[in-house]
Amino acid sequence: MTTTGAQQTQDGPEHSEIPEATVRKAVGAAAMGNLVEWFDYGIYSYVTVYIAASILGGDDSSNVGLVLALFAVAYLVRPFGGIVLGPLGDRIGRKKVLAMTIVTMSGASFLLGCLPTFSVAGWGAPVLLILIRLVQGFATGGEYGGAAAFIAEYAPDKKRGFYCSFLEFGTTGGFVLAAGMVTILEVTLSDAAMHAWGWRIPFLV
């Protein structure tokens, strides 16, 4: 009886009790959450020139390079997001942590869209930008690993790799969606409008 029970636990009979529709809903939710995270993350890279002009007070190559360096700053704190939020998901549930990371990421992106310009806040503007990027990196670091574990826990053993691949689909989809939105704005708005306020729209969305 003990051996049989251990074998059943190892084989994951609990997955047979989860309807396929529920599994797909869980996978879709995790993938969409990842799409939102990386949509917010990707926008920054596509509007670098406008951020350099607005937040750093110039559009020369040195400012663009600095904005790209700030893009990289977020990657430094991603491991800490996983270290802190991963175990937290084990304790209070992955759905709660995933929801928290998505809300945190979206809130930080919204604030980025509301950042004052260099002419208004001086060096306070880039300092705020750094803080927001750190928050985004922390949230993303906690979201990705938690989403992968969330999908793996729902997916049946024989389809776990297949379902987990949708997480990367969400990542790519987020970047594509961000690129598409910025492209539409650049086509429909003038260069002056993009520099003045158009680059903020994707962050506010």
Check residue 47 and give its pLDDT: 92
Check residue 158 and give its pLDDT: 84
* Radius of gyration of the chain from its Cα atoms, rounded to whole angstroms: 20
Task: Spell out the long-range contacts of 174-178 with Cβ–Cβ below 8 A and sequence spacing 24 or more.
Answer: 174/34, 174/35, 174/36, 174/37, 174/38, 174/39, 174/40, 174/41, 174/42, 175/38, 175/39, 175/42, 177/35, 177/39, 177/42, 178/38, 178/39, 178/40, 178/42, 178/43, 178/46, 178/202
CA distances (Å), 105 to each of 12, 36, 47, 132, 147, in order?
Answer: 34, 8, 17, 9, 14
Check residue 7 and give its pLDDT: 39
Task: List the one residue out of 64, 73, 84 whose CA is nearest residue 146.
Answer: 84
Domains of the chain, start order: 20-204 (1.20.1250.20)
Check residue 16 and give its pLDDT: 55
Check residue 68 and give its pLDDT: 82
Check residue 157 and give its pLDDT: 82
Q: From the first residue on, what is the mean pLDDT of each consecutive set of 10 residues in the chain (205 residues)?
A: 41 58 85 86 88 78 78 87 90 88 91 92 90 91 85 85 86 92 95 93 93
Task: Please tell me the pTM assigned to this model.
Answer: 0.79
Residues near 199 by Cβ (< 8 Å), separated by ≥ 6? 47, 50, 51, 54, 182, 185
Q: Which residues of 58-87 are buried (b: 16+ CB within 10 A; e: fewer)?
A: eeeeebbebbeebbeebeebbeebbeebbe
